[in-house]
Amino acid sequence: MEQTLPRWEQRVRGVVLVLARLALGYLFFTQLFWKMPPTFGCPADFAFTTANAEGRLQRTSGLCDWIGVEQVWSQRPRPFFVANFDNQGPPEIALDLSWAAQLNGGFLTNVVMPGIRWFGWLVWLAEAWIFVSLFFGLFSRLGGLVAIGISAQLMIGLAGISSPYEWEWSYNQMVVLSLLMFAFAPGRIFGMDAWLRPRLAATAGRGNGLARLLFWLT
């Protein structure tokens, strides 16, 4: 039978969870300004980054740049969870997720790129919501859920690419941290969810379906 944790350990866990919540929220906040709507930092013609005949990237700007980078790399080998024991030659451990990168590339090519003028809004608003949700602890489980989606897409699209160099674990850790936010709903500690949750509980207890959903998301 699990014993009640000492008060000091409960406080340490709470402080660490709040710090993780604020850090992930602030991370998404810092990424809002280089892709501000309505242009999302793209060129006037919304041209995307491509690769020339030699495979070198022809960079543009803003969201169009990074979407183009993802699309180019979706057609190249994509090993994940790479471990190279001597930092020379091919890695001793790697998981080939080229199929996932190719699916992501198809989605970008057929959905995102043709609709960038509206899809850019969806990306920007999703990241803005993650910041608001996690930084202020408002419906923090929903914020964590959206963060999982955004972080997983970035991981599949960019983690571990060599040009431009993107350290794989910067994206892998975003996914892990987002999973923790979803699992622990950290807005219940020093966040707005701590105020909302008991009020939603009273309404949810009377059989209100929407209130039950909102209660679960806090």
Domain boundaries defined on the chain: 7-183
The mean pLDDT value of the chain amounts to 93
* DSSP-based helix, strand, coil % in the chain, nearest 5: 60, 5, 30
| CA–CA dist 12, 149 (Å, integer) | 29
| CA–CA dist 198, 209 (Å, integer) | 16
Interval 126-173: pLDDT, tens: 999 999 999 999 999 999 999 999 999 999 999 999 999 999 999 999
Amino acid (one-letter) located at 69: V
Interval 96-128: pLDDT, tens: 999 999 999 999 999 999 999 999 999 999 999
- The residue behind tokens 């080229």 is 98
Q: What percent of the chain has pLDDT above 70? A: 97
Q: What percent of the chain has pLDDT above 90? A: 77
Name which residue leads in pLDDT, 106 or 204. 106
pTM: 0.92
Given this model, what pLDDT does residue 1 score? Answer: 45
Given this model, what pLDDT does residue 17 score? Answer: 95
Backbone angles phi and psi of 70, in degrees to 5: -60, -45
Given this model, what pLDDT does residue 200 score? Answer: 84
40, pLDDT greater than 90: yes
210, pLDDT greater than 90: no
Question: Which residues are 80's β-sheet partners?
Answer: 95
* Contacts of 138 by beta carbon, 8 Å cutoff, 6+ apart: 132, 187, 191, 192, 193, 196
